C-alpha cells in the first residue's frame, strides 16, 4: 500500500476507536488520521457521511462506531440496539460505495457468532446459525453489515474487509452499570471497597468463557494489517487467552486486593457459553498479542483509580 495515506476513523472517541487511532499514530505509511465527531458527521444521515468523505478524500475508512453495552443492557434494549447499529452501518457502507472508497475496514463483533459454533470459533462458521438470544438485536445488525460489506466487495471488486474482535477493554471504557463485563466489575469492586462491603454480586454462574483484548492492542493489530496489506475478507482479532468469568472476577479482585466474598447470581443470564476465537489466520499474518490480561487489568485499574477515565451513560461511540 502507498505511503502518505489519509485514514478516517468513525467512532474514534469510543473504546475501540480510540485504541485504533492511537495504534495508527505509530504507522510509517499513514500521514493523516481524521476522527470526525458526532457533531461533524451524523451516521444516521447518509448525506452527512458522503459530504464529509467528499471533502476528506481518504484512502482508508475504518468503521468503529456503534451503540454498545453489557449483557443486561443488550437484553433490555434489543430493538434500540438493532435499529441504531443497523442504520449507522448501512448508511456508512452505502456512503463509502457512493464515495468510491476502495479500502474499508468494518469493525464487527464476536457476538455475531452462532451459539452452536464450534470452539474455537472460525471465520468460516460465522453465518452457520443464529447468535445468542441475549444480544440478538445487536448481533443481527452487525451480521447484516458484514453481509453488506462482503456482497459489495464481491460485486464491485473492492478491498473491503471485516474485522471481528473479541471483547475489548481499556482506559477509555465506560465505567457504569450498563457497561461491558470488565468495566462493570471494576466499578462494582471499587464501589464495594469504598462502601466497605464484604460481598459483591456477579451476574450468571461464572462459567462462561471469554477472551479480552486491550484496545491499544487492537489498534496495533489493525496498524499491522494495513501496513502489510494483509489479504482477507473476514478476520478474527483476539488475545488467544480464554478465561472464565469467575477467573476474571478473581483477577480483578486480586489487583484491587479486595478480599470480600463473590456471589454469583444464577438467576441472571450467562450469555454465550464460550466465545473463544480461532486466531490462526491473524497469527499467519504475523500479529500476536503482547499484553497479558492480568497486566492489562493492572494498567486499566490504576488509571481508573486515579479518576482519569470515568465516562457517563452508555451511548454511541
Q: Is 140 inside any structural domain?
A: yes
**Inside any domain, residue 185:** no
Query: Is residue 316 domain-resident?
Result: no
C-alpha cell at 256: 484491587
Q: What is the CATH number of the domain that holds 218?
A: 3.40.50.720
Q: Put residue 100 in one of left, alpha, beta given phi > 0 → left and psi -120 to 50 → alpha.
A: left
Structural domain harbouring 27:
5-173+211-242+273-293
Residue 59 DSSP code: S
Say what the pLDDT of residue 74 is. Answer: 60
Helix-, strand-, coil-residue percentages of the chain, each rounded to 5: 45, 20, 40
Which DSSP string corresponds to 143-162? HHHHHHHHHHHHHHT-EEEE
Phi, psi for residue 210 in degrees, rounded to 5:
-135, 160
Cell 499491522 sits on residue: 224
188 falls within a domain: no
Q: Is the pLDDT of residue 317 over 50?
A: no
Asked whether residue 256 is domain-assigned, the answer is no
Predicted confidence (pLDDT) per residue in 59-107, tens digit:
999 999 987 766 667 677 788 889 999 999 999 999 999 999 999 999 9
Is 314 among the domain residues? no
CA separation for the pair 116, 276 (Å, rounded): 13
Which pLDDT score, from 0 to 100, does residue 313 have? 33
Q: What is the dihedral of CA 98, 218, 112, 145, to 10 degrees?
A: 0
Residue 307 lies in a domain: no
Q: Residue 260 domain-assigned?
A: no
| Mean pLDDT (the chain, rounded) | 92
- Is it the case that residue 21 has pLDDT exceeding 80? yes
Choice among 47-51, 118-122, 141-145, 177-181 with the minimum mean pLDDT:
177-181
Residue 40 near residue 90 (C-beta atoms within 8 A):
no
Mean pLDDT of 306-317: 46
- How many folded domains does the chain comprise? 1
Does 156 participate in catalysis according to the annotation?
A: no
Cis peptide before 198 (omega within 30 of 0): no
Catalytic: which of 52, 138, 169, 258?
Answer: 138
Q: What is the pLDDT of residue 75?
A: 73
Amino acid at each position: 500500500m502507498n505511503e502518505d495515506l489519509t485514514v478516517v476513523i468513525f467512532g474514534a472517541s469510543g473504546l475501540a476507536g480510540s485504541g485504533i487511532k492511537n495504534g495508527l499514530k505509530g504507522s510509517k505509511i499513514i500521514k493523516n488520521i481524521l476522527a470526525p465527531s458526532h457533531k461533524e458527521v451524523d451516521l444516521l444521515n447518509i448525506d452527512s457521511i458522503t459530504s464529509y468523505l467528499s471533502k476528506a478524500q481518504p484512502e482508508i475508512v475504518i468503521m468503529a462506531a456503534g451503540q454498545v453495552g453489557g449483557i443486561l443492557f443488550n437484553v433490555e434494549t434489543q430493538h434500540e440496539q438493532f435499529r441504531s447499529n443497523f442504520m449507522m452501518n448501512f448508511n456508512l457502507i452505502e456512503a463509502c460505495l457512493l464515495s468510491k472508497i476502495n479500502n474499508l475496514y468494518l469493525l464487527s463483533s464476536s457476538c455475531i457468532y452462532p451459539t452452536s459454533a464450534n470452539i474455537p470459533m472460525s471465520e468460516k462458521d460465522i453465518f452457520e446459525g443464529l447468535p445468542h438470544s441475549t444480544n440478538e438485536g445487536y448481533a443481527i445488525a452487525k451480521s447484516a453489515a458484514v453481509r453488506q460489506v462482503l456482497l459489495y466487495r464481491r460485486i464491485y471488486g473492492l478491498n473491503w474487509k471485516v474485522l471481528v474482535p473479541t471483547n475489548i477493554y481499556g482506559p477509555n471504557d465506560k465505567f457504569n452499570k450498563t457497561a461491558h463485563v470488565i468495566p462493570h466489575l471494576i466499578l462494582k469492586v471499587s464501589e464495594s471497597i469504598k462502601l466497605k462491603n464484604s460481598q459483591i454480586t456477579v451476574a450468571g454462574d461464572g462459567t462462561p468463557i471469554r477472551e479480552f483484548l486491550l484496545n491499544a492492542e487492537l489498534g496495533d493489530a489493525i496498524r499491522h494489517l494495513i501496513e502489510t496489506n494483509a489479504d482477507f475478507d473476514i478476520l478474527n482479532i483476539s488475545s488467544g487467552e480464554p478465561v472464565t468469568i469467575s477467573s476474571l472476577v478473581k483477577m480483578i479482585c486480586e489487583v484491587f486486593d479486595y478480599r470480600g466474598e463473590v456471589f454469583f447470581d444464577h438467576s441472571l443470564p450467562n450469555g454465550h457459553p464460550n466465545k473463544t476465537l480461532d486466531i490462526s489466520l491473524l497469527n499467519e499474518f504475523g500479529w500476536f498479542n503482547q499484553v497479558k490480561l492480568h497486566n492489562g487489568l493492572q494498567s486499566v485499574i490504576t488509571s481508573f483509580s486515579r479518576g482519569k477515565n470515568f465516562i457517563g451513560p452508555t451511548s454511541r461511540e
